[in-house]
Every structure is written in structure tokens, then in C-alpha cells.
Amino acid sequence: MTTTTISNIRILSGAANCLIASLLLAGCGGKGGGTARKTTIQVKGSDTMVNVAQAWAEEYKKVSPGVAIEVSGGGSGVGIAALTKGTIDIATSSRNMKPEEIETAKKNTGKEPKEFIIGYDALGIYVHKDNPLTEITAEQIAQIYMEGGKVTKWSDIGVTIPGGAGDEIVRVSRQSSSGTYEFFREHILNKKDFKLGSRDMNGSKEVVDLVASTPTAIGYSGMGYNEPGKVKMLKVASKPGQPAVEPSVANTLDKSYPIARSLQVYSLGEPTGELKKYLEWSMSDAGQKILEACGYVPLPAAARTK
Amino acid sequence: MALPSLTGKSLRPARPLWAVCGEKMLELLIRFCGVSAIIFVLAIFFFVFKEAAPVLWSKNFNLTQFLCSPEWYPTSVSNVRYGVLALIVGTACVSGLAVFLAVPFSLGAAVFISEFCGPKLKEVLKIVIELLAAIPSVVWGFIGLTVTSKIVQQMTGAPVGVNILNGGIILALMCVPIIASISEDALKAVPDTYREAALALGATRWQIVYRVLLPAAKNGLLAAVLLGVGRAVGETMAVLMATGHAVNIPHGILDSVRTLTANIAAELGEAPAQSEHYRILFLTGILLFFITFVINVTADFVVRGIRQK
């Protein structure tokens, strides 16, 4: 009697397990239906930019109390995917939209995505604070991260990690929905693939956190996530023999830092009404000051809105 | 004189029409509730399969490569490869370790609660164990990411704290309440006459547990353990946060891995709908479905096999 009850329970919850797993699938696969309401602006996308998007949203409450701005991260790819389905108003992205994504957006929503560059970011190469390394070449980074790359130990590039923490390089990377991931792959790995076995973190901050707690780690993340005293950003030389350049605002603007990128937002069609006001505000002096305070590189004065 | 009640229909009190219909309706409703679980499972399987199916016939797809290659490059620019071997191994390692850690603890807890402790402590323990089962998995993941990973790193000297061991510990903690409470039910269900008979024969308490209760309750105990395995294989959020999320065939329990479930959760959001990557993720879902199905069916056969002996 009891055994039957128990095996029934088991079968039922086995089914429940499957149900949950599949509901997860079905739920993610379904198309969300929300559209823009009058006073809510939905922003989604880049984890690199989620800090500044949130700071903007909070500050904008004071500027225009009638407008609520909802910000979520997930990665540039997630934001762009949501924009192409028409479920959000603004996608933030640390990479450019691909032609096929623009096509999908046009097909689904009938509107062409419009791009606005709202700032710049230098991609920092982070190591643990005890790592004696101070500079690295782009080629060395590629050899560490690339599939088939030869550098797997710190001693391969002449570094000894103090404290006997080991020699194996712990590669910290991002999950594939990240714009930073794609930017890194395009500009450092030359569109080749990553070596398998890297720790693929969900967010920019998690990369820095993991590097901070792992003496043998190396990671890449936006320079806004630097935590001096816990991690160290390396100077990067574009080629061996050339001077290594520090990631800084000035070096990003004059393009001497080799792995810098623009940060952009996308809207569906020409923005109007509150959305337009918000975007203009974010590109104005007030908005750019917040962006700079978050650790990114602001637009040059000429590119700002008045 | 014939008895009218034997033949006369009119003597039987006729029920009103609404009562007859109502009963039929109710019966139908209950019947529907009974089979609805089957309908749901089949429907879900059908929809998941429908999403995944087109890729099976695509010429880029190779089932052997899918199952046997550890190379998972779904978004590669130059060479897209879908191999889930590393993910299967990751799932197996983390779940295996979790069950290995959880079974002795939870069976011990069940035996203690059902046989050794006093009624007051029993109530407290049961409530606490149920409370443990109520902790949301994302909270477990958070603990794995921030607390246990640091401990694991300090104790073992592993370069990274988020690894199989860390994920296994967190998952074991999640399985213990399930296995313990169901095992406890199974032990409680052994008739007291068994215990009395054993006592009368002069058995010690340990002998009663070992020689009488465990054999008598083994079906239920096995069911409890397999339920724990099911939980471990299907768990997503906690392992996503606690195992390091690295596509990697591990060489030891201090390596980071990625599991099938975590992979779906992390990548489905960005995979463009109807794309090959999207369909492959659904196929991974079917694979997961298949694994839990095999576990359940095996359990059924094992339990039935034991029952026949």
C-alpha cells in the first residue's frame, strides 16, 4: 500500500520535473507581448552598460517624474533579440547589430532599428592584484584565449604568481550572449573561437569578482568595473615592441588604447515623444556626466546634444 | 403473491435528472484530472520536439557529433559546432557527486527521525527538514556562489571556488530534504509488528534497523534516492551559479563544468528564435527529458524487480 503511494509520488514528481524543465523551455521560446506604454520606457541589453543605464534611469526620475524607466541586463544579444521581437523600447549594446538582426527586426516589427552612440568604453584586461604582470600584448592575450593558442601557463609568458598559487592560467570569459564576448572575439581573437574550458560568467562584475578571488586568473571586462586594490588592469600593446597603453579616458578618445569600443543604444524606428527626450537627455552634458561617473568614456563635446 | 419489489421498477425511488447528469459530469471531470498529467507531459514533449525537429534533418547536423563531441561553439563565426558531450559529463559529475554526498546523510537522518529520536525532537526535525526543502534554488545558488565557493577554495586550494565539488555540495543540500522525508515515510510505513517481532527475538535497535527495517522499506528508500537523482539532474539555477559555467571535460572534482540545464538557461535568451542554435537548445531539452525518463523507468523496473522476489 505504502510502496504504491510512494512510487506514485515519485512518478508524479518525475513528471513534474519534466514539466518544469519543459515549461522553462516553452516559456523562454514564447514571444512576450508587452508593448510600449505611455510612460514606461523599457531598456534591456548589455551587461557592460547596465550600470550606467540604471544610473540614468534613477537620475531621469528627477528630470521627468512622469516617465518610468525599467532597466534589465542579460547581455547585448539578449537586448537585441528582445528589440527584434518588439518587446522593448531600447536595446543597449556593446556591439553593433548584425545585418541579419536588422532584417529580423524589420520583418517582425516593420521598423528599422536606429543606432545612437552614447559613449565609449575601454575593455580592461584584469588580473589579480598580486600578479606581477603590468603589461601584455594583444598577441599574448589571443594566445591565452584562442582555440589552439599556445599559452596555458603563466610561466609561458614569463610570469611567476607569488604565494605558490599554481601556474595554470584560469581564463575568465563571458557567456556567448555578451556583447563584450563578441567584441573580444572579433578584435582580439580575430573571429577565431575561444579555447574551451574558460569560466563563462554571466555579468561584467562577476568577471572582476572572480579575478579578484583567484590569483591565477585573467579576465576581460569594461573598464567601469575596475576595483583598485582587488584587481589590476593591464596596459595593452597592440603589437610586440610598441609601447603598452593604459586604459584611460584620454587614451580611449585618441584611440591609442587598442581595445576600445563604442557603446550604443538601438530604438525601433525614429524615436518620438518621451523616448526621444530621454535619449537626447542621455547624450546631453547632464547624461554624459553620469556616464563618466560610472567609469565609461563620455562623448566628445561636439557629439553631445544641447 | 409476488413480491412487487423484485420486478416493479416504479418502486425504486427515481433520482432526478440533474443528479444523474451531475454525477456523470463529476465523474468525467475527475477522469480528466486523472489523465491530465499524461496529456500535459505528452503535449509538452510534442511542443519541445516540434521546436527541435527541423534541425534533425538539417544537413549541418550530425547526431554522433552532437552526442560525442565536447566542442560546443554555437555562435562561432568560422566554424559552428554543437557537441554536448562536455555538458552531459558535467551534468553526470555534479549530480553523481551530489547523490553520493546526499544519500548517506539523508538515509541517516531518516533512520534517526523514524527510529531513534523522541517525539518532540522528531517534530522539530521534520519541520526543519521541510523548511530546507522550501528554500528557492536561486538562493542556494547564491550561497554556492558567495559562501561555499570561498570555503571550498580555502579548504582545497583549488584555483577557482566554483567547481564540481562546490556544485555537488549545494545540490546535495538541496536533495537531502527530499530523500530524507520520503525515506522517513517509507520507514514509518513498515508495520510495527515487524519491530515487535524483532524485539521479541532479542534484536538490538541497530539490528532492527539493519536487518528488518531497511530490507522491508527498500522499495520506498530506492524511490526516495531516485527522486533525489531526478532533482539533481533537473536543477538549473543553483548549478548555473555554483559550478563555474565552463565547457570542459573535468579531470578532477576541482574543475569547473557546465551542465545541460545551465546551458539552456544561459543561452536560450539570446538565441534568435527558430535559428539552428535555438533548435539545438530544444534538442538538449529533449535529451534532458530522455535522461529523466530513463531514470524513472529504470527505477520502476528496479522497484518491480525487488517486489517480485
Q: What is the pLDDT of residues A115-133, one digit of tens each?
A: 999 999 899 999 999 999 9
**What was the ipTM of the complex prediction?**
0.74
Predicted confidence band of residue B11 (pLDDT cuts 50, 70, 90): low
Long-range CB contact pairs, A24-28, < 8 A, 24+: A24/B236, A24/B264, A24/B265, A25/B48, A25/B51, A25/B264, A25/B268, A25/B281, A25/B282, A25/B285, A26/B44, A26/B47, A26/B48, A28/B268, A28/B269
Q: Give the end of a domain, one of A217, A234, A253.
A: A253
- Asked if A6's CB is within 8 angstroms of B182's CB, the reply is yes
- Asked if A198's CB is within 8 angstroms of B270's CB, the reply is no
Q: Is A85 in the same domain as A136?
A: no
Q: What is the pLDDT of residues A207-250, one digit of tens each?
A: 999 999 888 999 999 888 899 899 999 999 988 888 899 998 88
Tally of domains within chain A = 2
Among A200, A201, A202, the strongest candidate for a mutation testing the B interface, having the largest count of B CBs within 10 A, is A200
Can you list the domains of chain B with their CATH numbers? Answer: 81-308 (1.10.3720.10)
Asked if residue A6 is part of any domain, the answer here is no
Task: Name the residue range of residue A283's domain.
Answer: 14-25+38-120+262-303
- How close, in Å, is residue A144 to chain B by CA atoms? 16
Q: What is the pLDDT of residues B139-151, one digit of tens each?
A: 999 999 889 999 9
The strand pair at A113-128 and A231-233 is best described as antiparallel
Asked if residue A276 is part of any domain, the answer here is yes
Asked if residue A297 is part of any domain, the answer here is yes
At residue A295, the 3 state secondary structure works out as coil
Asked if residue A103 is part of any domain, the answer here is yes
CA-based max dimension of chain A? 81
Asked if residue A8 is part of any domain, the answer here is no
Please give the model's pTM, rounded to 2 decimal places. Answer: 0.76
- C-alpha to C-alpha distance for A239 and A279, rounded to whole angstroms: 38
- Asked if A85's CB is within 8 angstroms of B268's CB, the reply is no
B62: β partners: none
Q: Is A270 in the same domain as A248?
A: no
Using a CB-CB cut-off of 8 Å, the residues of chain B touching A14 are 227, 230, 292, 295-296
- For B220, which of A3, A31, A101 is closest by C-beta distance? A3
At residue A273, the pLDDT reads: 86
Query: Of B220, B226, B214, B221, which Cα lies nearest the Cα of B299?
Result: B226
- How close, in Å, is residue B168 to chain A by CA atoms? 17
Interface A-B: count of C-beta contacts within 8 A: 178
- Indicate which CATH number applies to the domain containing A66: 3.40.190.10
Q: What is the dihedral of CA A193, A194, A195, A196, to 10 degrees?
A: -100
Asked if residue A1 is part of any domain, the answer here is no
What percentage of residues in chain A have a pLDDT greater than 70? 87
